[in-house]
Copies of this chain bind each other. A is one copy, B any other.
Amino acid sequence: MSRNRLPQEEANGGTDAGQGSPARPTILDLAALCGVSPATVSNALAGKPNVKAQTRDLVLRKAREIGYHASSTARGLRMGRSWSIGLVVGDIANPFVPDVVRGVEDVVWRERKNLILCNTDFQAEKKTAYVRSLLDKQIDGMIVLSQILDDQDMERVEAAGIPLVTVNRRAPGHSCDYVGIDNQAGVRMAMDYLVSLGHRRIGFIKGLFRSSSADDRLAAYQEAVAAHGLDSDPSLVVQGDYSMESGDSATRNLMAAQRPTARPTAIVAANDLMALGALGALHDLGIKVPSDVSVVGFDNIQLAEHPLLNLTTINHPKRETGDSAARLLLQRIAGDRGDPPRSVILKPSLIVRGTSAPPSAAAVAKPRRRSASQPEKNQAEKKQAAGT
């Protein structure tokens, strides 16, 4: 147990006890080596003004020489910080997420803080447990991406005085820094664009209900439908869950209508993954995109621009999202704890690619009159000239 450090003993020199690693030098070792007190070493290393240039240089030199590095743990205990920030995500494997993470990492790295990645899988218990773990670790701050914390977790974070930035989902009751995108504007851009192409019957694949962003996007769709006087058949709105599979099946539902005119000439999906699912479904169904049906996504994930996908979509500045969140957080950490909560709302933009075009002449011309009462199920018959 007793390290038994004698005054002039060489740094960690004496007992090379057996096998283990040589026990890295402490500030005491360095102090002894420099012939000064640990306090002076500490001050010197911290660049405090109250230390003679000469001694500071000596300390710095010797420190580098023996490769001294202060223990984060020890100074963390002393100073009550940990120089790491917690990043709570739902699913890192969702292509939207890594780009945001990248943005966060970039600015966090500049301050030499570490990122503790918490993948909750959207499970409440995992979320709670991670938050606890982060608080136990005395993290400097926390970013929660695309999900909300329980009230109880929220309170714990607040009680601990840990700055928190939420991204993409506002926490209902609580008020904290927030980074998001103007969902309404984004969807509106998509809708306006499709309308300008001539579409009047536009389907919408919405995201999970309980999410504020999903609500915003749906609301924007509905407003656009009203504003432009578009077909507002409730069957034009189908539920998805942000996954590709859900986009696939939602699209099959959308296109399953018996009467051809009941089917949308364009589909807007609340995110790219579902839009890609739609593309897949349409492909399987033999429905041409964009000649028969246009598809517009939301997010502009990396692969959306692949020539074979070539998805028209609304760009969500992902990296910038992470960047802003991290900046907000660092500012909080730096001091202004009391200031009122701030919000950064990023601007979406329309990326026109290959999955959108004016509706086919057939589809536009069609609704002249409907024959009579046939419960028909024809979908493939008006397939002839699909002008790309």
Q: How many residues of A contact B (CB 8 A)?
A: 62
| Stretch from A38-46, A133-141, A166-174 forming part of the interface with B | A133-141
Q: Is A175 an interface residue (CB 8 A)?
A: no
Q: Is A97 an interface residue (CB 8 A)?
A: yes
Q: Is A71 an interface residue (CB 8 A)?
A: yes
Q: Is A306 an interface residue (CB 8 A)?
A: yes
**How far does the alpha carbon of A369 sit from the alpha carbon of B229 in the complex, in Å?**
67
Q: Is A114 an interface residue (CB 8 A)?
A: yes
Q: Which residue of B lies closest to A112 (CB)?
A: B133
A114-B112 in contact given A69-B136, A93-B302 (Cβ < 8 Å): no
B303 touches A280 (CB 8 A): no
Task: Fill in one digit per residue for A104-144: 1 if any B CB lies within 8 Å of its CB, else 0.
Answer: 01000100101111110000001001001111111000000
Q: Is A373 an interface residue (CB 8 A)?
A: no
Q: Which residue of B lies closest to A138 (CB)?
A: B73
Copies in the complex: 2
| Stretch from A16-24, A189-197, A232-240, A263-271 forming part of the interface with B | A16-24
A136 touches B72 (CB 8 A): yes
Q: Is A345 an interface residue (CB 8 A)?
A: no
Q: Which residue of B lies closest to A93 (CB)?
A: B98
A272 CB to nearest chain B CB (Å): 11
Q: Is A309 an interface residue (CB 8 A)?
A: yes
Residues of B within 8 A of A87 (CB): 117
A117 touches B105 (CB 8 A): yes
Besides A114-B133, A279-B306, 20 more A-B contacts (Cβ < 8 Å) are A69-B132, A69-B135, A71-B77, A72-B138, A73-B82, A73-B137, A73-B138, A84-B137, A87-B117, A92-B98, A92-B105, A93-B302, A95-B302, A102-B119, A109-B119, A114-B116, A114-B134, A116-B117, A244-B306, A280-B307
**What are 30 inter-chain pairs, A to B, with CB distance below 8 A?**
A21-B160, A21-B161, A22-B159, A24-B159, A69-B136, A73-B77, A73-B82, A73-B138, A87-B117, A91-B102, A92-B92, A92-B102, A92-B105, A93-B102, A95-B95, A105-B119, A109-B119, A114-B116, A114-B137, A115-B117, A116-B117, A244-B306, A276-B306, A279-B307, A279-B308, A280-B308, A283-B307, A306-B309, A308-B309, A309-B309
